[in-house]
Homo-oligomer: A and B are copies of this chain.
Amino acid sequence: MTEEVASRSSSVQSVDRALDVLEALARAGKPVGVGELSELTGLPQGTAHRLLQSLQQRGYVRRDAARKYSVGTSAMRLADAAQRSLARSSRPFLAELVTLSGETANLAVLEGDDIVYVAQVSSPHTLRMFAEVGRHVPPHSTAVGKVLLAAMPRERALAVLRRTGLPARTPATITDLDAFVAELDLVAAQGWAADEEEQESGIRCVAVPVLGSGPPVAAMSLSGPADRFAGGRTEGLVAGMQRVAAVFAAG
């Protein structure tokens, strides 16, 4: 009866299915009933129902008055831990990037509609930080933001941009939506993004996604003064960054 083989090594069936359920709910983006969920996941209704029960008891799933289910708040507690752990465990890799480049390395995630810097290792010869850990910035003016927006379904990226707008942070900030969408296409195609003094004058930035299972939730960046951090160096750095990001993602 096993239609799909677990891609590799062992995995506990019911756990895997419970995660399928959660992810289906997350993807649906609206409350769904047992029947619909059973179709979305390919699970028999009875099974889907039982898994929902288990998840609901722990607060990972909510059931509304119409008996439709959606992702519950317990997930938020886990996300908090995930973010801390991400910040902690990325530091050695960020440090490696600093060694590689001599510039400041950051790890950022998209939280709601903002980019949040969760970790940073600063360059030895940086006098001033341009973004502190914990800082929230709009996604369109940063390299990490471009990387994460480019990786999500275009429709969702546009929804984010609609909410945040494209405020100018510097004269170089891309404030035209069509131009920005073109930029996203470029970023999606090449797999990395640049920020050419678009967030802060005199600061350049390059970012790559941290690719794990599913769409990326984090991106690594290097940033430094525009005069030092210029042109030709970029290509070489990107390769190194992708390597480090891949090793980090692989764990």
CB within 8 Å of B: which residues of A?
6-16, 18-19, 22-23, 25-27, 29-31, 50-51, 53-60, 62-65, 70-86, 88-89, 109, 111-113, 116, 134, 136, 163, 210, 212-215, 217-218, 251
Contact = CB atoms under 8 A, between A and B. Distances in A.
Closest 8 CB pairs of A and B: A79-B79, A26-B81, A70-B85, A59-B213, A75-B78, A71-B81, A71-B82, A75-B82
Contact of A16 (B29, B58, B71, B134): B58
A29 to B, nearest CB: 7
10 contacts: A27-B81, A29-B81, A31-B88, A70-B82, A72-B85, A74-B212, A76-B109, A77-B215, A83-B112, A136-B136
Contacts of A62: 85, 89, 251
A89 B30 CA distance: 9
Q: How many copies of this chain does one complex carry?
A: 2
Contacts of A6: 57
A1 B13 CA distance: 22
Contacts of A251: 56, 62-65
A115 to B, nearest CB: 12
A251 B71 CA distance: 12
Given A29-B81, A73-B86, A89-B64, A50 B12 contact: yes
Contacts of A215: 77
Contacts of A27: 81
A75 B81 contact: yes
